[in-house]
Structure formats: structure tokens, C-alpha cells
Chain A
Amino acid sequence: MKYDIIVVGGGHAGCEAAAASSKQGLKVALISSNINNIADMPCNPSIGGTAKGIVVREIDALGGLMGRVADISHLQIKMLNSGKGPAVKSLRAQGDKITYPKNMLKELNSLENLDIIEAMVEDILVEDKKVKGIVTSDNKEYLCDALILTTGTYLKSKILVGSTNKEEGPHGEKCSKHLSDRLRELGFEIQRLKTGTPQRIDPETVDYSKLTIEEGDKHPWTFSFDIKPQYDVDKQRKCYLVYTNEKTHQIIRDNLTKSAMYGGYAEGIGPRYCPSIEDKVVRFANKERHQLFLEPESDYYPDLYLQGFSTSMPEDVQELMVHSLVGLENAKILKYAYAIEYDAINPLQLTHSLETKVIENLFTAGQINGTSGYEEAAGQGLIAGINAGLKLRGKDPLILKRNESYIGVLIDDLCTKGTKEPYRLLTSRAEYRLILRHDNADLRLRKYGYEVGTVSDEQYQNLLKKEELIEQLTNELKNIVISPKMVSEDIKNALGEELTVGISLYNLLKRPQIKIEYLVEYLDNNYDEEILEIVEIAIKYEGYIAKTIREVEKMLKLESKKIPNDIDYDKVNNLASEARQKLKQIRPQTVAQATRISGVNPTDISILTVYLKKEYSKDSSNE
């Protein structure tokens, strides 16, 4: 059997990769060890979150699936940071762990060129450093021109609970025991990472009167730019806040040596932003309590997810720990928490297209690249799928820049800095976050999706219409001048002073106290909320955005200076030895990327720049 592209793994990365490649008209196979686990959410039930919610919108803008599927599969949704400024707002939904995978499978089944195959992949066929296909555990060969590995935590995974461990994936699934050895043999550096998941609690056994309720927003939201909200805001499921206490901490301290992590039974490196509860208690010994969340997983089964309580303690200690929590004194644990270790490659061996530097036409995405999170995985899967397709179609790869998207920040961080812990996106990782907002993801990215073929004509036309409306509203605000007499009560109250001369709505909006909703009554046309929001942000924060754009321009200038693949850093005289070693290892593709490598200082950059001009633009320097 021969495919253009084979995707190995049906998680969030795999689904996007398969969809993005098949939408380019290529013949694609998605191979999963268990079709029932496609788009599974083995850990927390949420989709989105700070920075991640913006990624979901970016995926949607590029024609990916996560946003549209989440929009019809959630139990609750809210806008995080809504009380703060526009650049850090982000949606987060509590996904339904049953309906999400079901709806995702429906999307995948609707794609014409996609076959879904159930099998465990154990070998990769390679000829002359170029990928040829895969072999499954039952010795079947599938040939392909490009291969995308999205194996998640299934490479040599080990489940750790206390001192016991089992070689299996989440839900006791089989894991791939040979694939990571094969990758090592092919020249990949393999690292061991760890993550964990907390207990699931029986909702019938919780005393809710002792817990604080966390509701969804009363404002309806969608991730997708193409979908109007279809859920009832009043019928959203509730989440609850729970706190640890001194008793909990004492139990943890008393049993620390029994934890897989602290007892020395684990070798993988866990993420700093998602520490186990024993980690939190040890590292922040002064904190009197830690906040936990109790969240529904689905409408179709009872389990509540005890967010923030992940641990690798043995089961008996977990019982004590859970019962020490106020409101959970009598709680029944339906599933125990566990830590999971798995193999991942070193992302420094990737190019920005997510093709590996080691084997041609082999792409990787998601946890295998050292990231964590459904959204991070999906974003990479989408880019890997797009670029595998573009490569086979003889086109240039789609490389998103740091000033264009969080996905671009994520991939650039991976390829430039690598990671020693499961990588999670944060808004603070994005130096240009003022222009990487949730509200403008389609304006930033949809055109790329259209060029690639993952965004439809209709979607693209809607974008153009939206852009027109934005321009029209901006002009209206500039052209309409109101006199002091016309000023409404709202405006007067907000300003706290009388206007003495006429002022354009545009200039009025620049004042921090004036919201665009106060100005709507003066406009000639009606506009959607989203158009109003975008224009308001652009006008109100013009100065700050301009500052960001100046920084972007500085970076882009360096980004346009390409470093040829064949550069021999040993021939670049005068580089500091640390810089030379890092440059040799990471092999940045542009000078801008080189500046982001720690240990490469500004002097090294100028030396490199001079060398590049000297060696690679001889025509212009000849006398």
C-alpha cells in the first residue's frame, strides 16, 4: 500500500497533520494503535487557556480543526484575563472527553483522501537518509513519500505510581517499544520526559457546600471564526475550587520517599509549570495552601478531574491525601493519579518546517518534539501536515514568524533553544504579544491557509469582508467629529470633564477611559462586536502597538539575513568558543535566529554577519 503521506499517531497533532495534508489533495493515511482513542484527552479536560486559547484560534485561522470541534464539544467556556488588557485575553473551554473525540473523528471521516488505519508502528523504512515508509507490529509495510510522527507519550512509555511501574501508555494502552530505538539508530538524540495526571473523583461523594463554584462566562464565545455560538450559556457545567491544607502537606512530607519522583523511581524531567503536588509542597514549603480545581470531564460519565493534584504517590497515600481536602473528606477516587515517562527527540534536530534535519521527508509534531499540551501539539501537527504537503508539491514551506503567531514562537523556541522539560506556551514567551492577540488571529494567518489550500474560498471571502469593515469603521471614526453639545452622558461620566471643542471619535477613543461602545450611537453603520473590538484595540493602543512593530522590524531585518545550510562555523574566525559550539549544534537558519541562542553575544553576531557577506555575496563585493 502506498500513500503520499502517512501520519503515525491519532492525537491532537496527528488529527491536524492528517487533515492539513489531505486537504492539499494528497493521499494520506492516519495510523493509530487504537481508533477509539483518536483525539483522546488523556489528561486535563480543558482546551485553550492563556496563550493556548490564542493558539486554538490560530489553528482555526489556518484551516485546522481543533477550534471548530471544541466549539461543539464543550461543557463550559470562559475568557481568561477578561479584566486585563486585550493582548493577554484567551479562551478556555472544558471539553467533553466523549464528544470531542467523536466530533473530531466525524471531521476526519469527512475528508476525501484520508484512510484511518488501526496498527502499532514499530519501524521506519529509510533509504539514503530519506523516508520510504513504515512497518507495523504485525509486519505489514506501508510506503509513503513523507512521514509525520505524532506519537505523543507512546514511545517507550512507563506509568509510575509510587514504586511500581508498568510499560504502557495512558489508559493502559500498548506503547511502542521499538520506534524510539529505531529513531536513535537513525541519528536522533532521544531524551526522557515526564508528565502526570491527577485523580478522578466520583461526583456523588463530594460535599459541594464546602467548595467555591467557578462558572462559565455569561457571554457566548467560540474559538472558530466560522461558527456562531450554539450553546446555552446558562446550561454550562460548573467547576469547583478546592484547597490543600497543612494536613495534606504533612501527609505528603511524611510519605515523600514513596513518591516515584522523590523515591528515585523516575528518570524523566517534568515540567516546571505543571508540577506534581509533592513538588509544590517541597519547593514552596512556606505556602499554607495550594489551589486545586474540580472539573467535569464529560456529560456521559461521572468522573471529576482534580486539577492541580497530580502525583506519583502510591495509591494508599493518595487516598489519605484526597481525604484531607475540605469537601473531599469522603470522596471516592475513581482513578488514581500517575506520572508517565516517555521518549522524545531533541527538537534542535528540527527545521522550522518541522521536517527533521536527520531524515529527509520525516516530520515530527507534538509531544515527541518535547512539548506538552493539546494545543501546542495541534499547532505543530497542523504545520507539519501543511509543510509535508507543500514539500511533496514542490513548494516552499510555511514558516510562521515570531511576530505572526504563537505557533511561530513555539516552533522557533523548539528549533532554537531546544527544551529540557515538556514545553508549554506562555504569553511571556512571545515578545510581540501585543500583536499576537486572540481577536486578530484570522487577520494574521488566514491568507496563509488560503494559499496552502487548508482554508476554503468562502472562509477567505469572509476574511476580506471583515478587513473591509475594519477599514470602513476606522474611517468613520476618523471622519465623524462630535461637538461638546453632542457628548452623551456615558462619555461625560467617563471623562470626568466637559469637552470644550469638537473632537473626532477616533481621538476620543484614544483616551483610556472611553470605550468604543460609547461611540456606537454616533456611527452611520452597525458593526459586529468583533469588528468593534479589533478597531478599538488598534486605535486605543496605537502607540504601544507601534513600539512593538518597531521591535518587529528590527528583528525582521535580521530574519531576512539567511544563513546557508553549508556554513562551516570552524571557518568563521574570532567567534567565541561557546558561540561556535552552539551555532554548530543548532545551525540557525537566519541571523535573527542566531541572536536568540543563549551564549551567542552581539559581537559574535557581527562577526557572523561580516563572514556571511564576505563568503556568500562575492558578486557585490568584487572590485
Chain B
Amino acid sequence: MNENICAISTALGVGAISIVRCSGPDVIEIVNSIFKGKDLTKVDTHTINYGHIFSDGENIDEVLVSVMKAPNTFTREDVVEINCHGGIATTNKVLELLIINGCRLAEPGEFSKKAFLNGRIDLIEAEGINDLISSESEESRKYAISRVDGNLSRLIINERDILVSLQAELEVNFDFPEEADNPEVTSEKLRESLTSILADLKELIDSSSNGSILKNGIDVAIVGKPNVGKSSILNHLLDQKKAIVTDIAGTTRDIVEGTITIAGIKINLIDTAGIRQTEDLVEKIGVDKSKEILSTADLAIYVINSNEQIDEEELSFIRSIDNVQKIIFFNKDDLEINADKSLVDEFIVVSGNTVSENGLKDLKNKIIELFNINEIKGKNYNFLSNARQIALVHMAYESIQNAIASVDGEYPLEMIAVDIKKAYDDLGEIIGATYKDELLDELFSKFCLGK
């Protein structure tokens, strides 16, 4: 309920002005942070304010901003409406900025829902506003469908077709076990189909992640053995003393986060406790946590002390970091070099130190290069509404993973069917599919059934 939400509430591509509406406890501050003009946190309620939307010093659009403070607003929360003049692309950009700064894209009808939940029912009844909501919902309905990129939606429809035909092959065996010519569903066949679907979904997730990078930034985990200088690197990147830095190995036990911007992209830095075999329980928790972070990060910067030799434990750990991009950073190159770089030459390697800050710039450039940041920024991703959809693809991905695990565990087919159906339903939600008998249609068109 207390989330900040935003959406374009006028018809897209129609008219010269489009309105981006935000509602929530922090929306005035959020808009103020991208607005040049009056300080919106100090203006009176129900005022319209002239100014510009800025991003990284760049003027995005000339706008009029209406500030309406709770409780006398449509949703009963603080509401800010930005009248944009620059057409679809800039309006999208404004929306994107709002999302980057802490708003979430509203679900269709969510403003009305907030209005209702906060008890502003009487206003809904007022005729003028009713018309307004009417246009909002009508548009958001269309938007809900159109906001799935055409390619994405084709891909999803395609995956669902594959899933439904797989389901049909399973179901026909459940419902018509005595048909002589039913397709035989073997573990091998199932595993093969599922693995191929899994790969497709992975590709979908990866291709969506570029959009997600623009929106959510890149999560970078800084890992390495204790006392190799992870926290110092973080602090130098952040330009502040946030992580606890000492000379005693193992002092960083809490996960410290900070955010910087590299080439306009948010980089979320996450320091981790030093990784090594440890007996200390508190530290061990930190180490487990580090491993957990690694599993969700986009990039791991593995820090090695150039002054020390690389041992087997370290090597095997580096090699064990998979499913995530990694850069090996040879720190402390101002001291005597004892580490043998050739041991890790299959990875991307950068050298430097935090005393002279030599190499930190190289590190940033490597990140830009690795994530194609310049290229991503130049493209117009239609990703803004995709967070929910990406989450759904992720859920579908997990379900297929579960299904494969069930095939491997030799569970009965109807258990496997549960996960396949779940994946099918989750993907369906993305494209707004409603309850239908696709499965039965597939069943009866594909197989000759019945006595």
C-alpha cells in the first residue's frame, strides 16, 4: 500500500501533452530529485509548477508539474502529475527516471484501487473524475497488452505452444490410458523438451536483462579472501568510508551496499565478508551470505592481493563462481608482485591499488565494456513495464527447472505436469491470456481419442 507508483495516464501517441501520474508517500521528493525549477517539496498543495526534467545534467523535457498533497487527492496519497510535451520517447524517459528513482510502474487500475482502498470512493463517483479514470483504465488495459514488446510476446506465445503440446502428450496418457497409439512420454524425451524450453527462457531472461540493467542497474559483488582490500576498493569507488576497513582479516561481516553511476548506469556495489574456510561462526554466517549474494549478482569483482601467492583454495573458489560475470582485480600492485597472473588468465583481469587509485578507472571501463553499457544506452528498450513480466519469466524458468528435477527424480508424470502447467500459466499471465480450454483443444485436435 505504501509503495510509490507511476504510470502514463494519457493515451499514448495521441495529443501533444502526455501526463505521467505518480502516487505514494515519497513521490514529491522523487519528482523533485529529477526536476529543475521550484523546490517541489516546499510548494503549496494543488499548485502547478513550471520547470524541466533533468537527468545527469541533460535536459529531458520542459514540463508542468502538479503537486497535490495527501489527503485531498484522488488516491488520498501525495500525487504528482507531470505534463510532458516531448512526445512518447521523452514521456517514456521521464517514466524511466521515476522508476530508477524509486517508483514502481502501476498495474492497470492500480490508481483506482489505491483510491478505493484509501476510502476516496465519493470522488470516483463524481462525474468528471469518473471520466478521467475511465480513460485511464481503458488506456491501461490497452497498455497492459501493448507494453509487452512484440518480439517478446511472440516468443512467449511460442514457448506456450511448446508447453501445451507437451502437456497434451502427458494428459492424453492420463485421460486415455488405453488408447493404443498414444505418444510414449519417456524421461529422455521429457528432459530434452524441457531443457530446450529452459534454454529459450534463459535467453529471454538474458535479453530482458539489458532493459533491467537500465532500470535497476548492475549488482556487483566484491569478493575475495579476507584482507585483500575489498572494503577499500568499495570505499574508493563510493568515495566514502562505509565499510569497516581494518588490517585484521575478517572484520567485514555485514554486507555493505552503495550505489555509484558509471556512464549513467546504476552500479550497486555489495561488499562481502572475506571468503575462506573458517571456524568462527559469526564470520561463517558472513561467508554464507557472500555466497548467497554471488548467486544473485550480475558481476563479481574478485579481488586478489598481488603481494601474495594464489593458493589452490583460492583458485578453486574462483573457478567455482559461475553463472555470473567476473573480473579479477589484482589489488595492491604498488607492493611487490608475488601472485602469478597466468593462473587466472582465462578470466578478465585488471590490476591496480587503492593508494594511488591506479587501475580503478580501468575497472570501471571494463564494466562498461562487459555490459555493453554504451550500446544499451543508445537503444530504446521497451522494458519499462517489464519488471513483473521478467519476474514471471523467472518463475516459469524455475518451474521448468523443477520439472527437470522431477524427471531426474523419477517422479510420476502427473507431478511433472504440475510444474509444466505452472510455467504455462505464468507465461500466460505475461501476455494477458485468460482462462481457456487450449489444452483440451490441443488434446482433441492432435490425438484421435475416445471409444
Q: A and B: partners? A: yes
Using CB atoms and an 8 Å cutoff, list the residues of chain A in contact with chain B. 44, 50-51, 80-81, 84-88, 241, 243, 271-275, 280, 283-284, 287, 289-293, 307-308, 417, 426-429, 431, 433-434, 512-513, 541, 544, 547-548, 573-574, 576, 595-603, 606-607, 610, 613-614, 618, 621-623
- Chain A residues lying within 8 Å of B140, measured Cβ to Cβ, are 603
Other CB < 8 Å A-B pairs besides A50-B177, A598-B437, A613-B116, 12 of them? Answer: A51-B175, A81-B177, A88-B414, A287-B181, A291-B180, A434-B418, A547-B418, A547-B422, A574-B141, A599-B434, A601-B432, A603-B137
Residues B109 and A606 in contact, CB atoms below 8 Å apart:
yes
Among B11-19, B279-287, B316-324, B442-450, which stretch is in contact with chain A? B442-450
Closest 6 CB pairs of A and B: A85-B412, A291-B180, A284-B448, A574-B137, A428-B171, A272-B444
What separation, in Å, do the CA atoms of A512 and B181 have in the docked complex?
29
Interface residue from B124, B141, B173, B448 paired with A603 (Cβ < 8 Å): B141
Q: How far is the CB of B85 from chain A (nearest CB, A)?
A: 28
Q: How far is the CB of B111 from chain A (nearest CB, A)?
A: 10
Residues B451 and A287 in contact, CB atoms below 8 Å apart:
no
The answer to whether A598 and B435 touch (CB under 8 A), given A273-B449, A610-B112, is: yes
Interface of chain B, main secondary structure: helix
What separation, in Å, do the CA atoms of A600 and B437 have in the docked complex?
14
Interface residue from B133, B415, B435 paired with A573 (Cβ < 8 Å): B133
Interface residue from A80, A81, A273, A606 paired with B450 (Cβ < 8 Å): A273
B109: nearest residue on chain A (CB-CB)?
Answer: A606
Q: How far is the CB of A47 from chain B (nearest CB, A)?
A: 14
B112: nearest residue on chain A (CB-CB)?
Answer: A610
- Chain B residues lying within 8 Å of A273, measured Cβ to Cβ, are 444, 449-450
Q: Is B174 an interface residue (CB 8 A)?
A: yes
Q: Is B113 an interface residue (CB 8 A)?
A: yes
The answer to whether A87 and B175 touch (CB under 8 A), given A308-B451, A603-B109, A621-B116, is: no
Q: Is B121 an interface residue (CB 8 A)?
A: yes
- Chain B residues lying within 8 Å of A433, measured Cβ to Cβ, are 414
What separation, in Å, do the CA atoms of A431 and B138 have in the docked complex?
31
Residues A88 and B421 in contact, CB atoms below 8 Å apart:
no
Residues A428 and B422 in contact, CB atoms below 8 Å apart:
no
What separation, in Å, do the CA atoms of A610 and B336 have in the docked complex?
69
Interface residue from B138, B419, B429, B448 paired with A280 (Cβ < 8 Å): B448
Task: Give the tally of cross-chain contacts (CB within 8 A).
Answer: 151
The answer to whether A84 and B113 touch (CB under 8 A), given A50-B176, A431-B421, A434-B418, is: no
Q: How far is the CB of A57 from chain B (nearest CB, A)?
A: 17
What separation, in Å, do the CA atoms of A280 and B141 have in the docked complex?
42
Residues B173 and A427 in contact, CB atoms below 8 Å apart:
no
Residues A602 and B411 in contact, CB atoms below 8 Å apart:
no
Q: Is B3 an interface residue (CB 8 A)?
A: no
Residues A428 and B439 in contact, CB atoms below 8 Å apart:
yes
Which residues B127-178 have CB closer than 8 A to chain A? 130, 133-134, 137-138, 140-141, 144, 167, 171, 173-178
What separation, in Å, do the CA atoms of A618 and B119 have in the docked complex?
10
Q: How far is the CB of A168 from chain B (nearest CB, A)?
A: 24
B180: nearest residue on chain A (CB-CB)?
Answer: A291
Residues A597 and B418 in contact, CB atoms below 8 Å apart:
no
The answer to whether A610 and B451 touch (CB under 8 A), given A426-B440, A603-B108, A603-B144, is: no
Q: How far is the CB of B400 from chain A (nearest CB, A)?
A: 14
Q: Is B436 an interface residue (CB 8 A)?
A: yes
Residues B144 and A50 in contact, CB atoms below 8 Å apart:
no
The answer to whether A428 and B108 touch (CB under 8 A), given A274-B450, A573-B133, is: no
Q: How far is the CB of B445 from chain A (nearest CB, A)?
A: 8
B137: nearest residue on chain A (CB-CB)?
Answer: A574
Of the A-B pairs whose beta carbons lie under 8 Å apart in the complex, a sample of 12, sorted by A's number, is A84-B174, A84-B412, A87-B412, A88-B174, A284-B448, A287-B448, A291-B181, A544-B411, A547-B418, A601-B434, A606-B113, A610-B116
Q: How far is the CB of A48 from chain B (nearest CB, A)?
A: 13
Interface residue from B108, B177, B178, B436 paired with A598 (Cβ < 8 Å): B436
Interface residue from B130, B138, B175, B444 paired with A50 (Cβ < 8 Å): B175
Residues A614 and B124 in contact, CB atoms below 8 Å apart:
yes
- Chain A residues lying within 8 Å of B395, measured Cβ to Cβ, are none
Q: Is B357 an interface residue (CB 8 A)?
A: no
The answer to whether A290 and B133 touch (CB under 8 A), given A599-B434, A606-B108, is: no
Interface residue from B116, B410, B439 paired with A512 (Cβ < 8 Å): B410
What separation, in Å, do the CA atoms of A607 and B421 have in the docked complex?
27
Q: How far is the CB of A309 from chain B (nearest CB, A)?
A: 9
Q: Is B39 an interface residue (CB 8 A)?
A: no
What separation, in Å, do the CA atoms of A576 and B419 have in the docked complex?
32
Q: Is B57 an interface residue (CB 8 A)?
A: no
Q: Is B179 an interface residue (CB 8 A)?
A: yes
Residues B451 and A274 in contact, CB atoms below 8 Å apart:
yes
- Which of B109, B412, B440, B444 is packed against the most chain A CB atoms within 10 Å? B412
Interface residue from A307, A613, A622 paired with B451 (Cβ < 8 Å): A307
Interface residue from B109, B179, B439 paired with A291 (Cβ < 8 Å): B179
A426: nearest residue on chain B (CB-CB)?
Answer: B175
Residues A544 and B174 in contact, CB atoms below 8 Å apart:
no
Q: Is B413 an interface residue (CB 8 A)?
A: yes
B444: nearest residue on chain A (CB-CB)?
Answer: A272
- Chain A residues lying within 8 Å of B448, measured Cβ to Cβ, are 275, 280, 283-284, 287, 290
- Chain B residues lying within 8 Å of A243, measured Cβ to Cβ, are 180
What separation, in Å, do the CA atoms of A50 and B421 have in the docked complex?
20
- Chain A residues lying within 8 Å of B109, measured Cβ to Cβ, are 574, 603, 606-607, 610
The answer to whether A427 and B415 touch (CB under 8 A), given A512-B410, A607-B109, A621-B119, is: no
Q: Is B378 an interface residue (CB 8 A)?
A: no
A274: nearest residue on chain B (CB-CB)?
Answer: B450
B174: nearest residue on chain A (CB-CB)?
Answer: A88
What separation, in Å, do the CA atoms of A618 and B116 have in the docked complex?
11
B131: nearest residue on chain A (CB-CB)?
Answer: A573
- Chain A residues lying within 8 Å of B449, measured Cβ to Cβ, are 272-273, 275
A92: nearest residue on chain B (CB-CB)?
Answer: B178
- Chain A residues lying within 8 Å of B167, measured Cβ to Cβ, are 428
